[in-house]
Each structure stands twice: as structure tokens, then as C-alpha cells.
Amino acid sequence: MGQVNTKVTLCGIEMDNPIIPASGTFGYGYEFAELYDINCLGSFSFKGTTKDPRFGNPTPRIAECQSGMINAVGLQNPGVEKVISEELPKLAKCFDKPVMANVSGFAIEDYAYTCEKLDKEPQVGWLEVNVSCPNVHGGGMSFGTQPEAAAEVTRAVKAVTTKPVIIKLSPNVTDIVSIAKACEEAGADGISLINTLLGMRIDLRTKKPVIANKMGGFSGAAIFPVAVRMVYQVAHAVSIPVVGMGGVTTAEDVIELMLAGATAVEVGAANLVNPFASRDIVNDLPRVMEKYGIQNLTDIIGQA
């Protein structure tokens, strides 16, 4: 079949392949760079960054599940100023491609402030804006659960940035399509989904929830069919690119999400199980493409 072409273009930026380790599972990159050359990746999304430093949630924050895990880390990060002054220079030493900056916030102003700062950083290629955070001024419901709130965040960020803005949606909603469309209408350059589902485990011995916060984000292979369904629904409803994720563990999963409509694919929990997971998926992609007669990855986007 000859040489297969794994290149894709996400919001105008060409990538060697569509594989992006997901935010919160890859730190700020350099931790994994000690294990392998992370330049083999298409890009990666760094740890969720907020305006102010966050200590995170009380422990325990992790619960194991069959085919998955629950986490409630609580956006632990050093805050945007420290990320720019300390984390990004370290990252620059080991990664020479555009990186995806993942941003979280608890008020519209937080999102705008953090995105405006990160937008000026030369290493940042895309801003991935996580609207799954609780809206402190809006009664604690996440911005991503109402179309208008998600649109408001989108507009505020687009007003202060020049780089592509990809809105990361929460799957904990009944109508994902209306939220994606609201973000597109508000100027989003892309949609990223799915974030974790909401899950819970109870310890039979103590009869108490395993996680100190009671509930947490449920991720891992078990959620993959939900991701395929939501990516398919959203990709067919919007004309901007979709970044798909949720339970991806193999190169076959990547192809499946791309057939559903994803332009690029993030790998999350798998990195926590096997630190080489993303690298292994990149390396296996050409084999799987040849197996299914795929010459150019771009050709299969949304072909299902």
C-alpha cells in the first residue's frame, strides 16, 4: 500500500498524527519526556490551568472500577502565572511542537484572564477551554450544562484571544448537540469531548463513599461507547472540527472515533495505566491503517 499518511489539520495547525494525551493525564509534558521522546505525539493537552493556584480536593481522590477509574483531583495546579514562568520553559526543552493549553475557571472573568495570558505564549497552539467546572456565580452548575452559559464562556474567551479556541464539553447532559451548537454560534473554533462521566463507588466495609468528595469523574475504557455516540452526534451537527476522547486505549479506538467524526483524538486514563500508552498508539497507527486499507487519515473523518 506504500507509506500511509497520519497527518491531520486541527483548526489550521498541521499535526504529524492525531494523537493528543488528554489534560490531567500528562502533567505539563516533561514528566513523560523522561520516559520517551514526546515529540512523536501530535500534541498534548497540558494540566488544567486556572487563574489562581489550587491545592485540589481532599484525599482519597481516586477509586478503581471495572474497566475504568473515578477521580476527583479538583484541578490541582500552580496557577497561570507559575505555569507560564515555570512549567512552559521546562516544556520548551523537551517538546518543540505547538501544545494545547487546557483552561478551567469558576467565573467568566477567570476564563478570559487565563486564556488571554496563555494566548500570548508562543508554545501554545490551541486553547482547550474546559466548561465542566462549577460556575460559582451561577449556583454551582457547570458552565457546560446550559447552552447559554457555554456560549458566554466562548464569547468571553474569543474576545481576548487570537489562537483557536476549542471548547471541551461535559457529557453529563441530556442534549450535547444544543450545547455544541451554542458554542459554535458563539465563535468556537472546535469542540472537544467527552470529559469524564460522573461516577461513584461505596466501600462495603466502611459503608462510605470511596472518594472524599463522594463523586468524581468516571473515565477509562468503559466510557468509550458513550464517547463514540457523542462525537458522532456533535460532528454531524456542527461544521467546526471535533476532538474526540473518552476511554481510548488502542489505535483501533482512534480510527473508530475518527470515523464517528473526530479530527484528532485524545488519550486520557490509559496514560495513567501505562505511561507509554500514547506513544504505543502512535506507533501502532500505521499498522491499523494498512489493515483497514486507509491511506490518508484525513479521508476517514466522519465517514461512518
Query: For residues 191 and 227, is the Cβ–Cβ distance under 8 A?
Result: no
The C-alpha cell at 247 is 476511554
Instruction: Count Cβ atoms within 10 A of the Cβ of residue 138 and give its class: 0-12 exposed, 13-18 middle, 19 or more buried.
Output: middle
Among 40, 94, 115, 133, which one carries the catalytic annotation? 133
Strands 208-209 and 216-219: unpaired
Query: For residues 152 and 108, is the Cβ–Cβ distance under 8 A?
Result: yes
Rounded to an integer, what distance in angstroms lies between the CA atom of residue 235 and that of residue 138? Answer: 29
Q: How far is CA 258 from CA 58, 120, 170, 207, 253, in A?
A: 37, 31, 19, 42, 9
Rounded to an integer, what distance in angstroms lies between the CA atom of residue 100 and that of residue 79? Answer: 16
Rounded to an integer, what distance in angstroms lies between the CA atom of residue 233 and that of residue 224? Answer: 14
Residue with cell 526543552: 93
Q: Is 115 a catalytic residue?
A: no
Indicate which residues carry an active-site annotation.
133
